[in-house]
A = this chain, B = another copy of it.
Amino acid sequence: MREVYIIGAGMTQFGKHPAKSLRSLGLEACLNALRDASVKPKEIQAGYCGNALAPALQGETGVGQNVFWEVGISGIPIVNMENACASGSTALREGWMAVAGGFHDMVIIAGVEKTVMPKGTMLNVGGGELETQLGDVFPGYFSLIAQKHMEKYGTTREQLAKVSVKNHFNGTLNPYAQFQKLLTIEEVLNSPMIADPLTLYSCCPNSDGAAALILCSREKTRNINGRPVRIAASVLTTGTYDNQRDITGWEVEQRAAQTAYQMASLGPEDMDVVEVHDAFTISEIVHYEGLGLCPPGEGGRLIDEGATELSGRIPVNPSGGLLSKGHPVGASGVAQVVEIVWQLRGEAGKRQLTNPRIGLAQIMGGNKEGDTRACTVHILIKD
């Protein structure tokens, strides 16, 4: 298996972009990544595009072709991937396999999505599932997790709120973030209740946006200027679909993380920066535990200690995370990796961490009858 490097990273600002099409958002992100890598469109040998909802929301299929052709990338394999919130990171994993397996030397990954909807409209991701029709939508499902976590481990509403406060603070340091707004614990707690204990500011927004990466084989990387970051682990898996008994942790995430650590010959203690799928405040707490950043049940204590702040021992979601940077579904997994790349290269501006060398990005999605359709973990190293 060949070593694969990320030699270019780019994204659009996340937020409301009613005047921009999927194509124009994708174009912007791809051009940024190509420019960053000093690579011409014609040098790209394959394109992988993650998008979760365009067919349902925009009536558009073939988003990868629509975007890449606009960039000037054509006549090569182009594949469209859908894996719910992990659509973009699944595209990354397939692109990594294409280079690692020796099929291509240089590929482009894009995540593109528009999910901002008219006020009052609900995003129905579960499709035809009976549970969804009965009201088991995401905030409801995550409120159950939060309540169980509070009951089992004594996690508090304040600890949950602190996740949102931290991520919104980080977001104010990230010009690409949807929200540029400082929040207090009280503001989070007192914002409108969505699904107890999750308030409005405990939930990520719907967003429009795109992100892109250029992957390259080790050999080709030598000939290209830039500051390559190595993909030390790329893991995709699904839940086991066997009625998980304990909803305070995701077996699928723990398994994905263990596989990734093994692949990279590293452990959670080696991580200098982490981006996780904080669709809700409780999610980030559970991800701390699932990734082994702290023992099970101690996620609340970890945020209390300030360990995951920018100045902490293991900063999580320096980009602002989904809560503040926003969540254009299929783009989020790619944007997490863009942030890790920027952090490892020392290009993260006001939120730059001190000399991080190893980073991890985790995302998962597509809840189906209590299990997860897809979870990815990527570990990146600045050699």
Contacts and interface: CB of A to CB of B under 8 A. Distances in A.
B255 A127 contact: no
A239 interface: yes
Interface in A253-275: 255
Contact of A74 (B90, B101, B239): B239
A79 B125 contact: no
Interface string A1-35: 10000000000000000000100000000000000
B127 A75 contact: no
A58 to B, nearest CB: 6
Interface in A349-383: 366, 368, 371, 373-374
Given A56-B55, A79-B81, A65 B101 contact: no
Nearest to A49: B82
Contacts of A371: 69, 74
B58 A56 contact: no
A150 to B, nearest CB: 29
Contacts of A81: 79-82
B368 A65 contact: yes
A240 interface: yes
Contacts of A78: 83, 238, 373-374
A294 interface: no
A194 to B, nearest CB: 23
Contact of A239 (B58, B75, B97, B237): B75
Nearest to A100: B101
Given A94-B79, A127-B59, A65 B373 contact: yes
Contact of A82 (B62, B74, B93, B238): B62
Most buried by B among A58, A97, A255: A97
A366 B241 CA distance: 34
Nearest to A70: B241
Given A238-B74, A239-B75, A97 B90 contact: no
Contact of A58 (B21, B98, B127, B241): B127
Interface in A87-117: 90, 93-94, 97-98, 100-103
A74 B242 contact: yes
Interface residues of A, number: 53
A75 B240 contact: yes
A21 B127 CA distance: 13
A84 interface: yes
A374 B78 CA distance: 7
Contacts of A192: none
Contacts of A128: 21, 58-60
A163 interface: no
Contacts of A61: 52-53, 56, 82, 84, 125, 127, 366
The 10 nearest A-B residue pairs measured at CB: A101-B101, A55-B55, A60-B127, A77-B236, A75-B240, A80-B82, A74-B241, A65-B373, A69-B241, A55-B56
Given A62-B127, A65-B366, A69-B368, 6 more contacts: A65-B368, A65-B374, A69-B238, A79-B81, A97-B101, A101-B102
